[in-house]
Structure 1
Amino acid sequence: MNSLSSKHFYLIYKLIFEILKYALISFVIILILFPIYFLIVQASLNNSEALSNNVFLAPKDSLWTNIKEVMDQLFLNGFKNSMLSVLLINFLRISLYSLASFGLVKVSKFSKKVFYLLFIFVSLTPEISLYMGYKILLYKSNILESNVIFPLIINQIFSFFLLMYLYKILSSVPQNKIKLMTIDNLNMFQRFVYVYLKYLKMPYFLIIIFSSIQAWNDFLWPTYILTSSSEQTISIWFQFSGSRDASANFYNLKAAASFIALIIPLCTYLIFSPFVNKQISKSF
């Protein structure tokens, strides 16, 4: 009898635990997704609804109309500059970090310590404190006047975390494989493709993901250097969408622009996050 009661108690306890667990998971999901849902609701309002004092909790029917309205020439300019910035920062980071990582593998332990201290010092320097120096350098070299893409990513080139991660993975390549490629007399390209690339795919993938999101969302630096310019980035464009004049600020249009700016990196994350999580789990 006591055994039967204990079993019933255990089943009830397990049932309550499962209910609470799924309730907590549901609450967290709602908490995370509600800001996106509320953004969609605001983006779906028409202009008269946006200017009213009413609070709307359900989507209306003006979402696509608002999206079409904010996708103007400024959007195209901002989208072009942001996409080119994403491509350039990925190319520079993968190229420079690969060369730096291979160089660190070859140097002595003392030289590595010197580089580590230098990297740590640079990474601990507040980024915003370097803005004035960057801007003066860009103006004196006339780079900002001729092309805006490289100036947009000059503050993002260095990343201590990504560089060290790439170097650690490169250092983990088994010595027997390094000896074999030396015995087989492989050239540099063959060594990279047949030996190193297998280990560097995941670091490269993470560099692309983090660099793309950072370049896409960067706001302070583009705003600082493009203050008197007609050029835009996607992060500048959506901030000022809906501000037609001093008397009217249509936050429904601003919300529609924010939704466009959000949906691209969000979709990128949702598409590639299963692969990233799978690869990370294999590493542990």
Structure 2
Amino acid sequence: MNSLSSKHFYLIYKLIFEVLKYALISFVIILILFPIYFLIVQASLNNSEALSNNVFLAPKDSLWTNIKEVMDQLFLNGFKNSMLSVLLINFLRISLYSLASLGLVKVSKFSKKVFYLLFIFVSLTPEISLYMGYKILLYKSNILESNVIFPLIINQIFSFFLLMYLYKILSSVPQNKIKLMTIDNLNMFQRFVYVYLKYLKMPYFLIIIFSSIQAWNDFLWPTYILTSSSEQTISIWFQFSGSRDASANFYNLKAAASFIALIIPLCTYLIFSPFVNKQISKSF
């Protein structure tokens, strides 16, 4: 009898635990998704609804109209600069990190320790404290006046995490393969293609994902260097969408622009995050 009561108690306890677990998960999901839902609601309002004092909790039918309206020449300029920045930072990071990682594999332990200390020092330096120096350098070299793409990503070139991750993968290449490519007298390009590339595909994939999202979302640095410029990025463009004049600020248009700026990195994260997290957990 006592055994039966204990079993019933355990089943009730397990049922309550499962209900509370799924209730907590549902609450967290709602908490995370509600700001996005509210943004969509605001972006779906027409101009008269946006200027009214009413509170709307359900989406209206003006979302696509507002999206079309904010996708103007300023959007095209910001989209172009952001996309070119994404391409450039990916090219630079993959190229520079590959060369740096190959160099670290070959140097002595003492040299590695010196590089580690230097990397840690640079990574611990607050990024915003470097902005003034970057801007002075760009103005003195006239780079900012001729082209904005490289200046937009100069603050993102160094990433201690991605560099060390790439180096760790290169260090894990089996010694027998390294000896074989030495015996076969392969040149540098052949070594890279036939030996290293197999191990570098996942690190390159991670670099592309993280670098793309970072370059797309970067806000403080572009705002700092493009204050007096007609050039924009996506992160700057959406702030001014809907501000037609001093008397009218259509936050529904601003919300539509914010939705456009958000949807690309969000979709990228949702699609690739399970795969990325799985690969990272395998590597460490």
TM-score (norm 1): 0.97
Distance 1:145 1:221 in 2: 16
Tell me the equivalent position of 2:210. 210
Give the C-alpha shift of residue 190 in structure 1. Answer: 2.1
Deviations 1:43-98 (A, max 9, x none): 01111111111111111111011100000000000000000000000000000011
Q: CA RMSD in A?
A: 1.2
Q: 1:138, CA displacement in angstroms? A: 1.1
The percent of aligned pairs where both chains have the same amino acid is: 99
SS in 1 for 2:103: helix
1:262 positional shift: 0.2
Q: What is the distance in 2 between the residues matched to 1:210 and 1:42?
A: 29
Give the Cα separation in 1 of the matches to 2:197 and 2:27.
42
Where do 5+ consecutive residues of structure 2 fail to align? none
Cα shift at 1:136: 1.5
* C-alpha displacement of 1:162: 1.0
Aligned residues: 284
Question: 3-state DSSP class of the match of 2:164?
Answer: helix
- Structure-2 change in CA distance of 1:119 and 1:280 (3 Å): closer
Q: Which moved more, 1:137-146 or 1:270-279?
A: 270-279
Deviation, structure 1 residue 283? 2.8
> What's the secondary structure of 2:201's corresponding residue?
helix
Structure 1 residue 189: Cα displacement:
1.8
Q: Deviations over 1:154-212 (max 9, x none)?
A: 11111111111111111111212211222232222222122211221221111111111
Deviation at 1:277, TM superposition (A): 2.6
Q: Name the structure 1 match of 2:96.
A: 96
Deviations 1:81-122, CA, capped at 9 Å, x for gaps:
000000000000000011001111111111111111111111
TM-score (normalizing by structure 2): 0.97
Q: CA-to-partner distance for each residue in 1:217-263, whole Å, 9 max, x for gaps?
A: 11111111111111110000001111111111111110000000000
Deviation, 1:281, is 3.7
Choose 3-12 or 18-27, whichever is displaced more.
3-12
